[in-house]
C-alpha cells in the first residue's frame, strides 16, 4: 500500500494542476464557503458574548445571593444579613474577582415636575469596580464617594423624564421595613449613561443611606459576584450553597433566562448556516470531480489496462479531492482569520446602536478566534469534500478498460 | 433554431447540468426561505410587539413622545376618534400616567392607562391576556385590571381593593380606591410587572383631565394598513395641533433592530451568492473548453462568433430559468408550509415570548422574499456567463480545431 501511495500521491497532486483554472475555481468556492461559516460563527459568538457581558454588567454579575423569596417578590421584607462566617470566607476567597452587597427595592422617584417608578439600589461604590457598569465614567457630575454617601446617581433618561439634573433634589419613596411608605429627599450628584431601559430604571445611593432610609439595620437585599475564572461557576456555586444553606444562590443563567436564550438562538443559526454552506460546497466538489473524471476516462482505462487496480483508482480520485478541498480550506481559513483580525478593534454597530440595545447587546462586537471551532469547521468541510468525491471516484473505477479504450 | 440547439447542448451532459441546476436551485431556495423567514419574523415582531399596548400608531400632544407629562393632553378625543374611524381605522383614546398602587402595607409604582374597554378590545392584546377575573367593561366604574407580577407583588387578588396615589393635572393629589376585576399575563416581564388599566372616565376624574385624553392609540386591520393611512393621520393631527407617531417613531429601537439584522445578513447572502457563482463559473468553463474543437469546426463551416456566443449564453439562460423555477417552488413550498405550522429553533421560544411573539417563527411569502434571492443569484450567474462568452469571441477556427 505504501508503494502505491508513493505513486499515487504525486499523481493526484499533478492531476490537480493539469487544469489549474478549474481547480482554482473550486478552491475559491470552498474557501468562500468556509470563510462564511467561520466568520458567521465568530460574529454570532461575539454577539452572544456582547449580550451576556451587557447583561452581567447591568447589576447581575455571574451570580447572586438573596434571601429566599426575593426573586419572586423583590421587596424590603425579603432581606438577608450581610455575609459573615463561612459565606464571607467563600466570597473573600481568591476565586472571586469582585463581590458587592446591595440594597435593591422598588421605589417611586418624584421631582417637582413628575413621579416615576424606579428601582432604588444602595451600593458600596468601591465594591462595584469590576462588577457593574456603575463604576464606569459618568455623563455628568461625580460618583458616589462611599457607602455613607447621601446623594443619588440617576440615568440620563430618568433625568430627562423628571426634568431634573445634577445639583437638584428629588424625593424617593419606598416601602420601609415597618410597612410604612418611607420618604427621603436626595441631592442628585451625578448622571450616568447606559442602555435606555437601565437609565430609566435604576437610582443609586450609598448602601448605608439606603439601609437607614428603609430601617433595615445592616441587612442587604442581594450579594452579586464575578469570578476570576467564569468556567468555575458551577463548582463555586456549589461551595456557596454549602456555606449558606438558608439563602437562595443563583447563577446568571437563571437570573437572566433571556440572555441564555439569546446565546442558544445564535448557536442554532450557526448550525443552520453550516448546513447550507456544506451542501453547496459538496455540490461544487462533486460537479468538478465528475467532470475531471469524465474527461479522463480513457486515461483511467489505460491505467487499468496497464494493471492499476480499480481500488487504487478510487484512492487516486479521493486523494485528488483531498488535495483540492484542503487547498480551499486552507485558503478559506486564512481569509477568515484575516477578516476577524481586521475587526480586532471591534465591529462598531454605532449606526444602529439603539437596535443592538433593543436586542440586549452592546454597541461594539468583538469577534475573537475560536481555534477549536475553526479547526472543527475546516475538518468538517474537508471531510465532506472527500466524501462527496466517492461518487466520481467510484465512476472512474467502474468503467471497463476495454470499452473505454475502444471509444473515441 | 438557436433555442433548440442550446436545449440539446444542455442535455449532452445531463449529470453536470443536473448538478449545476441543483446547486443554483438549492441556493435560490435557501434565499427564498431565509428572506421569507426574516420578512415573516420582522412582520411578527412589528405587529405583535406594537399590538400589546402601544397600537400601530398614536396621536399625541406635541412633545409628548420626549416627555410624556400628565399636563399634555388631547382635547375632545371623542370627535378625533370618530374622524379616525372614517379612515377605516380603530381609535382608542387613553389616559396615561404613573401612580403608586397600594394594598395593605404593600405599594408599587405602576404605569396606568385609562381606556375605553370596547375600543381596546379591537387594538390591544391585554384584553385577551386576562387569565383571572375579567377585562374591563364599558359600564365599569371603580375597577382596575393589573399585570400578574404586579398583583403578586402587591399580594392582591381579584375582588380586592387597591389604593391609587399620584399627582393630578392641576397639581392636586390624585387618589382613588379601585377594585381589582382582572389580572392579565402577557408573558412580557415589563408589562406584567408595571401595567394597570382602568376605565378612561375614572382616569379623567382622578387625574383632573376633564374630557381630555393623554393620547389616542390607533389600530387597524394590519400594521401596513395603518402605515398607508399615515399621511392622512398626520394631516388630521396637524389640523388639531397634535402629532401623529408611526410605529417606528414609538419604538425606534425595534425598527433599528430589524435594520441591524437585515444589514448584517446581506453579508452572509453575499458569500452564499459568491459560492454559487464560482461553482457555476467552473461548470460553464468546462462546458466551453471541452467543446473547443467542435466550436472551431462550426466556425470553419461559416457560423459567426456571435451566433455561437448566443447559443452558449442561451444554455445558461435556460439553466438559470429551470433552477429558478425549481428553487422558487421548493423554497416557497417550505415557506408556505412553515407559515402554517411555524418553525422553531432552540432558544427562540423564550426569546420571542418576551417580545410578545409566539414561540415559533412564521415565514412570510411576498414578492420581495420570493424574487430578491433568485433575481440576485440569476443575475450574477448570467454575468459570470460573460467569461465563456468572451472566450468564444477570441476563438480562431484553425487553432480551435487542433485543440485537444
- Which one of A312-321, B215-224, B251-260, B383-392 scores highest in mean pLDDT? B215-224
Cα–Cα distance, A343 to A270 (Å, whole number): 19
Higher-confidence position of B135 and B299: B135
Are B107 and B92 in contact by the 8 Å Cβ rule? The answer is: no
Over the stretch A273-310, which tens digit does the pLDDT of each residue have?
A: 888 888 888 888 888 888 878 778 888 888 888 888 88
- DSSP strand E in B8-105: where? 57-61, 90-103
Q: What is the rounded average pLDDT of the residues B361-374? A: 90
Comparing alpha-carbon positions, the chain A residue that sits nearest to B155 is A73
CB within 8 Å: B275 and A22: no
What integer pLDDT is reported at residue A408 of this predicted model? 47
Distance CA B63, CA B84 (A): 21
* Cβ pairs A/B, distance under 8 A: 180
Which residues 44-73 of A are in CB contact (within 8 Å) with B? 72-73
Residues of chain A with pLDDT below 50 are 408
Taking each helix axis from N to C end, the angle separating B367-384 and B252-289, rounded to the nearest 10 degrees, works out to 30
> Could you say which of B15, B253, B346 has the minimum Cβ distance to residue A354?
B253
Q: How far apart are CA A338 and CA B300, in angstroms?
A: 50
B82: closest CA of chain A, how far (Å): 32
Residue of B nearest to A354 (CA): B253
Handedness of CA B236, B238, B243, B248 (dihedral sign): positive
Contact check, Cβ <8 Å, A354/B252: yes
| pLDDT score at B382 | 87
Q: Beta strand A169-175 with A152-155: parallel, antiparallel or unpaired?
A: unpaired
C-alpha distance from B19 to closest chain A C-alpha (Å): 6
Is A354 in the B-facing interface, judged by CB distances under 8 Å?
yes
Q: Is the pLDDT of residue B331 over 70?
A: yes
Q: CB A287 to CB B351 under 8 A?
A: no
H helix intervals, B74-171: 77-85, 117-123, 148-154
**Residue B272 CA from chain centroid, whole number:** 23
Which among B111, B166, B260 has CB closest to A356? B260
Mean pLDDT over B264-289 rounds to 85
Shortest Cα–Cα distance, A171 to chain B (Å)? 14
H-type alpha helices, B240-385? 247-250, 252-289, 292-300, 305-341, 348-353, 367-384
**Residue of chain B with shortest Cα separation from A118:** B109
> Which of the residue ranges A80-94, B250-264, B383-397 would you say has the lowest mean pLDDT?
B383-397
Tell if the CB–CB gap between A29 and B263 is shorter than 8 Å: no
Amino acid at each position: 500500500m505504501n508503494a502505491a501511495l508513493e505513486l499515487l500521491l504525486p499523481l493526484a497532486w499533478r492531476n490537480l494542476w493539469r487544469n489549474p483554472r478549474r481547480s482554482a475555481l473550486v478552491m475559491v468556492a470552498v474557501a468562500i464557503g468556509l470563510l462564511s461559516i467561520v466568520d458567521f460563527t465568530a460574529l454570532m459568538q461575539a454577539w452572544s458574548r456582547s449580550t451576556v457581558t451587557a447583561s452581567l454588567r447591568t447589576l447581575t454579575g455571574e451570580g447572586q445571593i438573596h434571601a429566599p423569596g426575593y426573586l419572586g417578590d423583590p421587596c424590603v421584607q425579603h432581606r438577608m444579613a450581610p455575609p459573615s462566617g463561612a459565606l464571607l470566607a467563600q466570597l473573600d476567597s481568591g476565586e472571586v474577582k469582585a463581590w458587592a452587597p446591595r440594597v435593591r427595592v422598588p421605589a417611586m422617584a418624584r421631582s417637582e415636575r413628575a413621579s416615576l417608578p424606579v428601582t432604588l439600589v444602595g451600593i458600596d461604590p468601591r465594591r462595584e469596580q469590576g462588577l457593574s457598569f456603575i463604576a464606569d465614567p459618568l455623563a455628568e457630575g461625580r460618583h458616589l464617594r462611599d457607602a455613607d454617601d447621601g446623594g443619588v446617581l440617576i440615568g440620563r433618561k430618568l433625568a430627562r423624564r423628571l426634568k431634573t439634573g445634577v445639583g437638584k433634589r428629588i424625593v424617593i419613596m419606598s416601602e420601609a421595613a415597618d410597612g410604612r411608605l418611607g420618604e427621603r429627599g436626595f441631592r442628585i450628584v451625578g448622571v450616568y449613561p447606559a442602555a435606555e431601559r437601565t437609565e430609566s430604571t435604576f437610582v443609586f445611593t450609598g448602601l448605608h443611606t439606603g439601609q437607614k432610609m428603609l430601617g433595615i439595620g445592616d441587612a442587604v437585599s442581594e450579594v452579586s459576584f464575578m469570578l476570576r475564572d467564569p468556567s468555575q461557576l458551577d463548582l463555586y456555586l456549589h461551595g456557596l450553597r454549602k456555606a449558606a444553606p438558608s439563602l437562595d444562590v443563583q447563577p446568571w443563567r437563571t437570573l437572566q433566562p433571556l440572555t441564555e436564550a439569546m446565546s442558544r438562538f445564535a448557536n442554532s443559526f450557526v448550525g443552520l448556516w453550516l448546513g447550507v454552506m456544506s451542501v453547496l460546497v459538496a455540490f461544487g466538489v462533486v460537479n468538478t470531480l465528475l467532470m475531471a473524471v469524465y474527461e479522463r476516462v480513457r486515461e483511467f482505462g489505460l491505467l487499468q489496462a496497464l494493471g492499476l487496480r480499480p481500488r487504487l483508482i478510487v484512492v487516486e480520485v479521493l486523494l485528488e479531492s483531498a488535495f483540492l478541498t484542503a487547498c480551499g480550506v486552507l485558503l478559506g481559513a486564512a481569509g477568515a482569520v484575516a477578516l476577524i483580525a481586521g475587526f480586532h478593534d471591534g465591529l462598531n454597530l454605532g449606526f444602529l446602536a439603539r437596535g443592538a440595545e433593543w436586542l440586549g447587546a452592546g454597541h461594539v462586537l468583538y469577534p475573537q478566534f475560536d481555534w477549536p471551532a475553526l479547526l472543527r469547521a475546516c475538518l468538517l468541510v474537508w471531510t465532506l469534500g472527500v466524501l462527496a468525491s466517492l461518487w466520481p471516484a467510484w465512476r472512474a473505477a467502474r468503467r471497463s478498460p476495454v470499452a473505454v479504450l475502444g471509444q473515441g | 433554431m438557436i433555442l433548440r440547439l442550446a436545449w440539446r447542448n444542455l442535455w449532452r451532459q445531463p449529470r453536470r447540468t443536473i448538478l449545476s441546476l441543483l446547486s443554483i436551485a438549492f441556493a435560490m431556495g435557501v434565499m427564498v426561505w431565509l428572506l421569507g423567514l426574516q420578512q415573516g419574523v420582522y412582520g411578527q415582531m412589528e405587529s405583535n410587539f406594537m399590538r400589546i399596548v402601544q397600537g400601530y400608531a398614536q396621536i399625541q400632544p406635541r412633545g409628548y413622545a420626549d416627555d410624556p407629562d400628565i399636563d399634555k393632553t388631547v382635547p375632545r378625543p371623542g370627535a378625533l376618534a370618530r374622524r379616525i374611524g372614517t379612515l377605516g381605522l380603530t381609535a382608542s383614546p387613553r389616559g396615561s400616567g404613573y401612580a403608586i398602587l397600594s394594598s395593605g402595607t404593600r405599594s408599587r409604582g405602576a404605569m396606568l392607562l385609562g381606556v375605553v374597554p370596547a375600543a381596546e378590545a379591537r387594538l390591544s392584546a391585554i384584553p385577551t391576556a386576562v387569565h383571572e377575573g375579567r377585562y374591563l367593561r364599558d359600564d365599569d366604574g371603580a375597577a382596575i385590571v393589573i399585570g400578574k407580577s404586579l398583583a403578586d407583588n402587591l399580594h392582591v387578588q381579584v375582588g380586592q381593593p387597591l389604593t391609587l396615589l399620584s399627582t393630578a393635572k392641576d397639581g392636586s393629589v390624585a387618589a382613588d380606591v379601585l377594585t381589582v376585576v382582572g389580572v392579565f399575563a402577557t408573558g412580557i416581564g415589563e408589562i406584567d410587572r408595571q401595567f394597570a388599566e382602568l376605565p378612561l372616565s375614572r382616569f379623567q376624574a382622578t387625574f383632573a383631565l376633564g374630557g381630555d385624553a393623554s393620547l389616542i392609540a390607533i389600530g387597524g386591520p394590519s400594521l401596513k394598513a395603518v402605515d398607508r393611512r399615515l399621511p392622512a393621520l398626520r394631516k388630521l393631527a396637524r389640523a388639531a395641533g397634535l402629532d401623529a407617531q408611526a410605529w417606528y417613531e414609538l419604538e425606534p429601537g425595534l425598527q433599528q433592530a430589524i435594520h441591524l439584522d437585515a444589514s448584517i445578513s446581506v453579508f452572509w447572502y453575499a458569500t452564499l451568492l459568491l459560492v454559487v457563482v464560482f461553482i457555476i463559473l467552473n461548470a460553464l468553463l468546462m462546458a466551453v473548453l471541452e467543446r473547443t474543437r467542435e466550436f472551431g469546426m462550426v466556425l470553419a463551416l461559416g457560423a459567426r462568433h456571435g451566433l455561437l456566443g448566443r447559443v452558449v449564453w442561451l444554455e445558461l439562460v435556460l439553466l438559470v430559468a429551470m433552477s429558478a423555477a425549481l428553487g422558487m417552488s421548493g423554497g416557497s413550498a417550505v415557506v408556505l408550509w412553515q407559515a402554517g405550522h411555524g418553525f422553531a429553533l432552540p432558544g427562540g421560544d423564550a426569546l420571542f415570548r418576551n417580545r410578545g411573539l409566539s414561540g415559533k417563527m412564521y415565514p412570510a411569502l411576498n414578492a420581495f422574499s420570493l424574487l430578491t434571492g433568485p433575481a440576485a443569484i440569476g443575475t450574477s450567474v448570467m454575468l459570470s456567463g460573460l467569461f465563456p462568452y468572451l472566450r468564444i469571441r477570441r476563438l480562431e477556427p484553425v487553432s480551435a480545431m487542433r485543440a485537444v
